[in-house]
């Protein structure tokens, strides 16, 4: 496929890896956080960590929109779906994320709630038109990438005069989470970020400037292909070596400095920042999420149904919060691969297609098991007399 296969060239990837190995100072440690879950999966899928020298480490960040939503908001969505006459529409990943006491939207649906999986906001609008006697609520989640489609749906509902359509808004803001990590929200020290790809096509480059000006940390926005990620790592290594802290754009074929101004204007028209919002693993962060402006309050499910958000804790045995902060890797969790697997997830990081645990389960575990088996065979051979 044009402009996809070109970014998966193994020889070029090895060439970039050789450049990283040659330029990375063996006397120092490089710790870079890939914020986006798409990058995490690319790193695991293509075995990119195996190409890096030991002193260049990739750290998984809170870039999975499903993973960062706290239990309290999932519980609120389940209670909302239990309201008489309510049809809740949700993206597929959210259906299986555990709430309190092991409950989920999928289990609530099995118990009789009218919960429907949709592929887009337009599906939710269509359902609202088909069942005018019911209140149709769209469970809106995601970073800046998925916020414009929610805004479009609300504008369409306004034009179509759909009085039975509303949004349970859980859209969160990437820069706020990056700031929290840099100010010590229980995370691991890092030397720079591999900046998110799709988010940056919307917001551009300027919102990351504080990383450089306030924290002296470089950001390199990167695409999702293996060569994109490897080139971004090389650019970060060079910045650290030079003592620079710039916002650079490796993904120039899709991201512009200004981003998508039309999408930005639409979001600004409909949404405003919340005073604070809870993130899984990061706690309550100021100005880190969006809510509908008063002019569009009639489309706000939280106002229409008085949705109560009750504090709720994650399963104490699950390390998803620590993984989202970069403090742990998926295999460090005692539940990983045992009671927590994709078919029976305990934590959100194992559910989502962008979750770090799901990525490691799908790709990374095979390499680690192979290494473990090799070590076992080597130890066994040493113990066997010639």
| Dihedral angle, C-alpha 103, 90, 37, 253, nearest 10 ° | 180
**279 shares a domain with 245:** no
Assess if residue 41 is contained within a domain. yes
CA 59/CA 81 separation, integer angstroms: 36
User: What distances in angstroms separate CA 299 from CA 72, 123, 150, 164, 291, one per listed residue?
Assistant: 21, 16, 11, 9, 11
Parallel, antiparallel, or unpaired for β 30-34 and 165-171?
unpaired
Write down the residue that tokens 């309050």 correspond to. 297
How many secondary structure helices (H) and strands (E) does the chain include? 15, 13
In 274-348, DSSP assigns E strands to 276-279, 283-286, 290-292
Q: Which residues contact 325 (CB under 8 A, 6 or more apart)?
A: 62, 181, 185, 186, 187, 188, 281, 282
Please, are residues 99 and 70 in contact by the beta-carbon 8 Å criterion?
no
Assess if residue 179 is contained within a domain. no
pLDDT at position 365, please?
62
**81 shares a domain with 158:** yes
**143 shares a domain with 264:** yes
**160 shares a domain with 88:** yes
**264 shares a domain with 158:** yes
CA 283/CA 42 separation, integer angstroms: 27
**Domain-terminating residue out of 249, 277, 296:** 249
**287 shares a domain with 149:** yes
* Number of compact structural domains in the chain: 3
pLDDT at position 1, please?
47
pLDDT at position 185, please?
62
**146 shares a domain with 16:** no
Q: Which residues contact 359 (CB under 8 A, 6 or more apart)?
A: 37, 40, 41, 43, 44, 45, 330
Residues of the domain holding 345 = 320-374
**191 shares a domain with 166:** no
Assess if residue 35 is contained within a domain. yes
**267 shares a domain with 165:** yes
Assess if residue 365 is contained within a domain. yes
CATH of the domain at 289: 3.40.50.11740
- Digitized pLDDT (tens) for each residue of the chain, 386 residues in all: 466 777 888 889 999 999 999 999 999 999 999 989 999 999 999 999 999 999 999 999 999 999 999 999 999 999 999 999 999 999 999 999 999 988 999 999 999 999 999 999 999 999 999 999 999 999 999 999 999 999 999 999 999 999 999 999 999 999 999 999 999 766 688 999 999 999 999 999 999 999 999 999 999 999 999 999 999 999 999 999 999 999 999 999 999 999 999 999 999 999 999 999 999 999 999 999 999 999 999 999 999 998 888 888 888 999 999 999 999 999 999 999 899 998 889 999 999 888 999 999 988 765 555 555 444 444 433 343 33
Assess if residue 178 is contained within a domain. no
**159 shares a domain with 40:** no
CATH of the domain at 236: 3.40.50.11750
Assess if residue 75 is contained within a domain. yes
pLDDT at position 382, please?
38
**166 shares a domain with 75:** yes
Assess if residue 312 is contained within a domain. no
Length of the chain: 386
Angle at CA of residue 91, ends 87 and 97, nearest 5°: 95
**162 shares a domain with 55:** no
Assess if residue 176 is contained within a domain. no
Region class of 259: left (phi > 0), else alpha (psi between -120 and 50), else beta: left
């Amino acid at each position: 496929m044009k402009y996809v296969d070109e970014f998966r060239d193994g020889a070029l990837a090895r060439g970039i890896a050789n450049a990283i190995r040659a330029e990375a100072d063996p006397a120092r440690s490089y710790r870079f956080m890939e914020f986006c879950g798409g990058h995490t999966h690319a790193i695991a899928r293509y075995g990119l960590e195996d190409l890096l020298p030991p002193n260049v480490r990739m750290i998984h960040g809170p870039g999975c929109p499903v993973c960062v939503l706290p239990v309290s908001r999932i519980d609120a969505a389940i209670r909302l779906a239990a309201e008489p006459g309510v049809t809740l529409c949700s993206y597929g990943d959210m259906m299986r994320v555990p709430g309190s006491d092991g409950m989920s939207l999928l289990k609530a649906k099995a118990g009789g709630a009218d919960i429907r999986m949709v592929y887009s906001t337009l599906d939710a609008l269509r359902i609202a038109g088909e069942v005018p006697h019911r209140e149709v609520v769209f469970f809106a989640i995601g970073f800046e990438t998925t916020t414009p489609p929610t805004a479009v749906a609300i504008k369409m509902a306004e034009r179509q005069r759909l009085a039975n359509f509303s949004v349970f808004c859980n859209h969160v803001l990437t820069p706020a989470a990056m700031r929290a990590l840099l100010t010590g929200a229980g995370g691991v020290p890092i030397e720079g970020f591999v900046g998110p790809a799709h988010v940056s096509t919307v917001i551009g480059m300027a919102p990351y400037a504080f990383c450089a000006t306030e924290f002296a940390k470089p950001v390199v926005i990167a695409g999702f292909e293996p060569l994109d990620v490897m080139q971004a790592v090389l650019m970060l290594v060079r910045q650290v070596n030079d003592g620079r802290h710039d916002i650079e754009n490796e993904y120039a074929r899709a991201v512009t400095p200004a981003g998508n101004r039309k999408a930005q204007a639409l979001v600004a028209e409909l949404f405003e920042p919340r005073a604070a919002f809870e993130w899984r693993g990061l706690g309550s962060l100021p100005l880190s999420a969006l809510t509908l402006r008063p002019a569009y309050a009639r489309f706000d499910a939280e106002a229409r149904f008085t949705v109560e958000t009750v504090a709720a804790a994650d399963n104490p045995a699950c390390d998803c919060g620590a993984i989202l902060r970069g403090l742990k890797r998926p295999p460090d969790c005692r539940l990983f691969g045992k009671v927590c697997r994709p078919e029976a997830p305990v934590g959100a990081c194992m559910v989502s297609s962008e979750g770090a645990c799901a990525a490691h389960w799908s790709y990374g575990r095979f390499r680690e098991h192979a290494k473990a088996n090799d070590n076992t065979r080597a130890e066994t051979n040493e113990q066997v007399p010639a």
